[in-house]
């Protein structure tokens, strides 16, 4: 009981530090982990070992993957490649299905591009289509935000799912495969929520200077824009299938090459090289510390550090004996995927960041997987997705994405809570229900 209370105290300390005192999540997680180790009665040597093993172990698996994914997203965003993909999706679906088009576009763009950036990029299109199609601007906005949110929390290479997969030791290819299925199907009830509920809210479109991509002189082709996304994802998934015990592709030179090329680091590095072809005129300055690579490092560094701090917290929990405690006390309970889901949902609602919620939850859950009955290759994948589903909701006033959405559209806080916030809860619940249904059949 004392150890369990110590865990709760450490979590409360971390959340209060982030919310009330605006302390960076990296410092809050890192110091919180050390405080937990001291209160749990761990020896100084074990605390130091937990710090080095936790930080180095996690970042050794996923630090480069996070960085490479961010670089691809940066090049797609700054060259207008993501904008090209968005326009083509809108053209395919048609202006008569604006709400569906906005939702699908947000879903696609948020795989390589950060959620806030994807929304800012698409907001002018959402506005113009709302006016042209005589649709409520609130509806096109929320359709976009929910599409963005779905893949941001469920489909790598966005940082949260990558970090959770690395911490839990889940197969990244299978997380991508099932994440795509869960995130897309879970949006179906959200579409009807937007179509029949959010359309009741009136919102006058605001003009936001500089919120478009007019400064880009020439956009890359659709093929160029899509390759840095499609090729790495395809290679990672195919390599995961090739690694099945049944060896569906056989055991030969081809599978060895595929396994190497499909390693997340190699696959995303290949995607990075492909993204170098996106600028109209390639300049080596783009690869400098002051160019787009430098910008990517600035974006990725906080996420990587937070992930490392989460790894320290997880290793501290593991070395303190928390897994044995939970095993003894939950042996008769059947929490399964529900515990990581509820924990991520509580952390997301409390402190606002989906990435922090996923990393913290994964760090806590990792040593508990055997006790929760999730210690198989397949169930580790769905544990990652359950965490991602929980980290979707509830997006409200402590979430930077919520403020980006309300400030750029002129939506007030009350309407934001009634539409976007409620929509994230529906998306989270539909995702976890779908995850449970899938696990019954595989």
* pLDDT confidence of residue 302: 85
d(CA 362, CA 377): 15
**Is the model's pLDDT at 34 over the cut of 70?**
yes
Q: Which of 46-55, 124-133, 164-173, 204-213 has the lowest mean pLDDT?
A: 204-213
Confidence of residue 86 (pLDDT cuts 50, 70, 90): confident
Q: Residues 77-89: what's their mean pLDDT?
A: 81
Res. 213 pLDDT band, cuts 50 70 90:
very low
pLDDT at 385 over 90: yes
User: Tens of pLDDT along 263-285?
Assistant: 888 988 999 999 998 888 877 88
Q: Can you give the pTM of this predicted structure?
A: 0.78
Among 89-98, 305-314, 327-336, 337-346, the minimum mean pLDDT is found in 327-336
């Amino acid at each position: 009981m004392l150890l369990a209370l110590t865990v709760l105290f450490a979590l409360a300390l971390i959340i209060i530090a982030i919310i009330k005192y605006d302390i960076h999540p990296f410092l809050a997680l890192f110091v919180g982990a050390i405080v937990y180790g001291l209160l749990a009665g761990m020896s100084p040597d074990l605390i130091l070992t937990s710090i080095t093993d936790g930080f180095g172990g996690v970042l050794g698996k996923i630090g480069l993957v996070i960085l490479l994914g961010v670089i691809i997203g940066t090049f797609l965003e700054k060259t207008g490649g993501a904008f090209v993909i968005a326009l083509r999706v809108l053209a395919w679906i048609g202006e008569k299905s604006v709400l569906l088009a906005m939702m699908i576009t947000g879903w696609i763009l948020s795989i390589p591009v950060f959620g806030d950036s994807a929304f800012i990029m698409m907001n002018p299109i959402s506005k113009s289509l709302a006016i042209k199609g005589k649709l409520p601007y609130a509806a096109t906005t929320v359709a976009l935000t929910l599409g963005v949110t779905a893949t941001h929390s469920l489909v790598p290479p966005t940082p949260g799912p990558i970090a959770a997969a690395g911490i839990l030791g889940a197969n990244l290819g299978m997380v991508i495969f099932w994440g795509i299925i869960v995130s897309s199907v879970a949006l179906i009830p959200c579409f009807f929520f937007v179509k029949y509920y959010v359309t009741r809210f009136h919102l006058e479109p605001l003009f936001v200077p500089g919120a478009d991509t007019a400064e880009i002189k020439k956009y890359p082709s659709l093929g160029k824009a899509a390759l840095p996304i499609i090729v790495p994802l395809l290679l990672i998934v195919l390599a995961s299938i090739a690694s099945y015990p049944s060896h569906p592709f056989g055991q030969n030179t081809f599978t060895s090459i595929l396994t190497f090329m499909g390693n997340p680091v190699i696959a995303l590095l290949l995607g990075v090289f492909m993204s170098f072809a996106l600028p109209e005129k390639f300049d080596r300055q783009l690869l400098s510390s002051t160019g787009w690579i430098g910008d990517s490092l600035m974006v990725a560094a906080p996420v990587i550090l937070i992930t490392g701090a989460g790894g320290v917290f997880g290793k501290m929990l593991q070395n303190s004996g928390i897994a044995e405690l939970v095993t003894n006390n939950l042996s008769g309970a059947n929490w399964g995927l529900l515990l990581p889901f509820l924990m991520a949902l509580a952390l997301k609602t409390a402190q606002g960041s989906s990435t922090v919620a996923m990393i913290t939850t994964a760090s806590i859950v990792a040593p508990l997987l055997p006790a929760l009955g999730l210690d198989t290759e397949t169930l580790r994948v769905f544990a990652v997705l359950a965490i991602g589903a929980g980290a979707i909701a509830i997006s409200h006033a402590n979430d930077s994405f919520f403020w980006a959405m309300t400030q750029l559209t002129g939506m007030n806080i009350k309407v934001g809570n009634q539409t976007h916030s409620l929509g994230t809860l529906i998306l989270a619940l539909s995702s976890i229900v779908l995850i449970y249904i899938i696990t019954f059949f595989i």
